[in-house]
């Protein structure tokens, strides 16, 4: 099954990006200077001609000083109980991948669960990321190679990895099939939204 064929709310990144940029009275060139992306790359995304990569979306979120969740929903009220039905997941199509939120933006505690799907050969990007708290990864299918600090870990379906997220880390799918993982971020600083780092850093076709 194609990773984009799942029945869940799709996200119009182009319109939301334009709205967030204009709210901050930024031109496309201005956002380009802040994010390190070309004005042409940003224009292509805003016109809906290309989906942003993990890397690109993170750079834009960082430049706008927002969590990645701001791209697909208004800031929701925080709750102490959150249920996310499979058909109601927020989904962000990425360059050669998919990000699916699992309610972290609505929960009042310091935990952010999400699903990441990568096509064969794709990755989180060229540059590693780091943030406060802890990170748990459970490989659901396919293969993931995680680089954490100076070490490299290979994960297959059923394997799990837990580490301090202040260590620089990145990942890629070294296999020949789609890979899918559940990632849970927890124990991060109040007010921080570390999931934005996972929509995160590196060279892409849009850059």
The pLDDT tens digits of the residues spanning 16-36 come to 888 889 988 899 999 999 999
| Cβ proximity of 176 and 128 under 8 Å | no
- Counting the structural domains of the chain, the total is 1
**What integer is the mean pLDDT of 151-179?**
96
Give the range of the structural domain holding residue 24, as residue numbers without chain letter.
Answer: 9-207
Split at pLDDT 50, 70, 90, the class of 160 is very high
What percent of the chain clears pLDDT 90, i.e. is strictly above it?
41
SS3 of the chain: the string is CCCCCCCCCCCCHHHHHHHHHHHCCCCHHHHHHHHCCCHHHHHHHHCCCCCCCHHHHHHHHHHHCCCHHHHCCCCCCCECCCCCCHHHCEEEEECCEEEEECCCCCECCCEEEEEEEECCCCECCCCCECCCCEEEEEEEECEEEEEECCEEEEEECCCEEEEECCCCEEEECCCCCCEEEEEEEECCCCCCCHHHHHCCCCCCCCC
User: Looking at the domain assignment, is residue 67 inside a domain?
Assistant: yes
Angle between helices 28-35 and 39-46 (to 10 degrees): 120
Q: 96-119 pLDDT, tens per residue?
A: 888 898 887 777 778 889 999 999
Q: Answer yes or no: is pLDDT of 76 > 70.
A: no
The residue among 10, 8, 62, 63 whose CA lies nearest residue 34 is 63
Amino acid 188: pLDDT: 77
State both tokens at 151. 């070490």
Q: Answer yes or no: is pLDDT of 6 > 60.
A: no
Tell me, what CATH number does 131's domain have? 2.60.120.10
**More reliable by pLDDT, 199 or 21:** 21
User: Looking at the domain assignment, is residue 144 inside a domain?
Assistant: yes
CA dist., res. 86 & res. 83, Å (int): 10
Amino acid 167: pLDDT: 95
pLDDT mean across residues, the chain:
82
User: Looking at the domain assignment, is residue 3 inside a domain?
Assistant: no
User: Looking at the domain assignment, is residue 68 inside a domain?
Assistant: yes
First to last CA, the chain: 29
- Find all residues with CB under 8 Å of 65, minimum gap 6, and list them: none
**pTM of the full structure:** 0.64
């Amino acid at each position: 099954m194609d990773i984009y064929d799942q029945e869940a709310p799709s996200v119009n990144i182009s319109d939301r990006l334009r709205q967030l940029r204009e709210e901050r009275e930024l031109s496309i060139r201005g956002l380009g200077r802040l994010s390190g992306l070309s004005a042409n790359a940003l224009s292509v995304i805003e016109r809906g001609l290309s989906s942003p990569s993990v890397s690109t979306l993170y750079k834009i979120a960082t430049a706008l000083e927002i969590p990645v969740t701001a791209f697909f929903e208004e800031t929701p009220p925080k709750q102490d109980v959150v249920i996310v039905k499979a058909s109601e997941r927020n989904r962000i199509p990425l360059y050669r991948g998919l990000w699916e939120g699992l309610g972290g933006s609505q929960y009042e505690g310091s935990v952010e669960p999400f699903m990441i799907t990568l096509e064969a050969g794709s990755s989180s990007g060229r540059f590693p990321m780091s943030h406060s708290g802890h990170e748990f990864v459970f490989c659901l299918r396919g293969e993931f190679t995680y680089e954490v600090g100076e070490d490299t870990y290979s994960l297959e379906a059923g394997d799990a990895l837990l580490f301090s997220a202040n260590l620089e880390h990145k990942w890629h799918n070294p296999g020949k099939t789609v890979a899918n993982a559940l990632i849970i971020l927890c124990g991060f600083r109040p007010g921080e939204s570390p999931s934005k780092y996972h929509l995160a850093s590196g060279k892409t076709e849009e850059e």
